[in-house]
Structure 1
């Protein structure tokens, strides 16, 4: 009796044959669609013109240049408006920082993503445990406000303290002190004519330190007022 020959390879599953036929038909279908389509240079030009003008480019007038396949120079003076706005605001805040430092008020400018912060360290602004600014400091705060008014940007004023507990007749804790200091600066901004709808005040107490509170220098850095300019709005 003859021995049955052993299969060298397994047979292909039936579903795989049908799947291959389906892919071939789909490929043929899309090739047919592409061969029947036509590329409209006029519509292509209109799309490019719309995108260019939306991003601040100049209006394109030489329509025939694109239709004939010629290159046309794109001028985008208003491209990336947020980046340019951020640079302008950062420059203004640096100018304000230099003005404040000439008056003996220690400050720094820090960029955080879409916002910029001007930190004003408060030992020279407020007496210990008080929310009322020194009288000789108020004119500089008002000048700061006048310069910021030109931007018409929203400003959040944050009060910060170190971690040394406070308990006075007026303030039971650092929360109340930091919030009161922020509100006092906000009142000065309103007095100088800043739009109240663009202002907000927050108290952060000792819960957002920028330096360790275990040294005198670190605690002095944490006692501060921050002016936060948000560029995403």
Structure 2
């Protein structure tokens, strides 16, 4: 083919330069997918604690109150245990003593008073030679003529259980009634009723983890009144359950007491 033949041919097709156009779209898609999976990996390994602290800083910068997360755990798991821990700390600070060194009966009484103060007159705390006693109105624990604990009784019983689990005192549960006689198939007299109520309270404490070897349940019926039985108010005071945390020094040597822990 000569030079004239080449000149007489029509315009040749220009060769395409670079990669095909679809490669740009494919590259963009690949990059986006890579970014997506990198983000997923970063979220999966993210320190949630630091993220929340960072978020709190951002809120604070915009004038929003933040929630601070610290590296701590609550020493107690229930509100009752937290109340007991706070009462122990307050007493230790007021006395200038370490709560872990144990408490005298006077210190223990102050702790018990602080633990039950929000119940008002429904729970009375006092101390004598026998130990520290929590006297609870019967109506707060049991329905009339019954030895089945009310649901509301947990407000008292859980506090007694917390004390039993924290300290090593022996606990005497004393059931009392008024002088109005009772005669049912289950309770032929007030003796059975008072003993059944004390036993029901004991069983509740055992279920909450109290050491059964340090528990005693006693029924006194109406033999130990604290008020005259000739008025409704007096009878209401006599219908009670007493929780006596026994002073170790009051236990006679060789006398009866539950087995030690």
TM-score, length basis structure 2: 0.54
The partner residue of 1:95 within 114, 118, 130 is 114
Contact 2:147 2:196 in 1 (8 A): yes
1:110-166: CA deviation from partner (whole Å, max 9, x where unpaired): 222141211001112111100001123225412331133211110000000000000
What's the secondary structure of 1:214's corresponding residue?
coil
Aligned to 1:112: 128
The partner residue of 1:160 within 176, 183, 187 is 176
- Structure 1 segments of 4+ aligned residues over 4 angstroms from their partners: none
Q: Find the aligned partners of 1:218 and 1:154 in 2 and give their Cα distance.
A: 29
Aligned to 1:73: none
Contact 1:120 1:224 in 2 (8 A): yes
Aligned to 2:14: none
What's the secondary structure of 2:151's corresponding residue?
coil
Contact 2:140 2:152 in 1 (8 A): no
What's the secondary structure of 1:205's corresponding residue?
coil
Q: Which runs of 5+ in 1 are unaligned?
A: 1-76
Number of residue equivalences: 151
Q: Find the aligned partners of 2:195 and 2:223 in 1 and give their Cα distance.
A: 13
Q: Find the aligned partners of 1:209 and 1:113 in 2 and give their Cα distance.
A: 19
What's the secondary structure of 1:137's corresponding residue?
helix
Aligned to 1:85: 104
Q: Find the aligned partners of 1:148 and 1:92 in 2 and give their Cα distance.
A: 13
1:198-217 to structure 2, matched below 5 A, reads 198-217=214-233
Contact 1:117 1:229 in 2 (8 A): yes
Aligned to 2:49: none
Contact 2:172 2:218 in 1 (8 A): yes
What's the secondary structure of 1:186's corresponding residue?
helix
Q: Find the aligned partners of 1:148 and 1:221 in 2 and give their Cα distance.
A: 25
Largest Rg, 1 or 2: 2
Contact 1:96 1:144 in 2 (8 A): no
Note if 1:124 corresponds to 2:149.
Answer: no
Contact 1:212 1:219 in 2 (8 A): yes
Aligned to 1:30: none
Q: Find the aligned partners of 1:115 and 1:216 in 2 and give their Cα distance.
A: 29
Q: Find the aligned partners of 1:228 and 1:199 in 2 and give their Cα distance.
A: 10
After TM superposition, the structure 1 stretch with the greater mean CA deviation from structure 2, 138-147 or 151-160, is: 138-147
The partner residue of 1:175 within 176, 188, 191 is 191
| Bigger proportion of residues as helix | 2
